[in-house]
Amino acid sequence: MTKYHSNNTEILEKVIAEVEQTPEEYLPNLLEMIRLFRESVTLKSAEESFRQGWYEAMTGDTIPVCQLWDGIDAE
């Protein structure tokens, strides 16, 4: 067993322990949070990213270039 695998196993055991301590009525919300987190950190395939971008462009779901940096303070 590699150190990487051992570390992942330990982390997974800690996550499971936390889930087991969560009151049952909150489990659906916790599951949704985990799904949303996974989706936010998982990279989409190039094809999927292109399809989404193309769809957004074709439906007008865009932001003008002049607004892309609004609200970002560069130091």
Residue ranges per structural domain of the chain? 3-67
What is the percentage of the chain residues whose pLDDT exceeds 90?
A: 59
User: For the chain, what is the largest distance between any 2 Cα atoms, rounded to a whole number of angstroms?
Assistant: 52
Taking residues 56-72, what's their average pLDDT?
88
Confidence band of 4 (pLDDT split at 50, 70, 90)? low
Judge whether residue 70 has pLDDT over 80: yes
Q: Tokens standing for 11? A: 């982390």
Q: How much is the pLDDT for 23?
A: 96
Q: Do the Cβ atoms of 30 and 22 come closer than 8 Å?
A: yes
Tell whether the model's pLDDT for residue 2 goes beyond 60.
Answer: no
| Three-class secondary structure assignment of the chain | CCHHHHHHHHHHHHHHHHHHCCCHHHHHHHHHHHHHHHHHHCCCCHHHHHHHHHHHHHCCCCCCHHHCCCCCCCC
Looking at residues 2-29, what average pLDDT do you find? Answer: 89
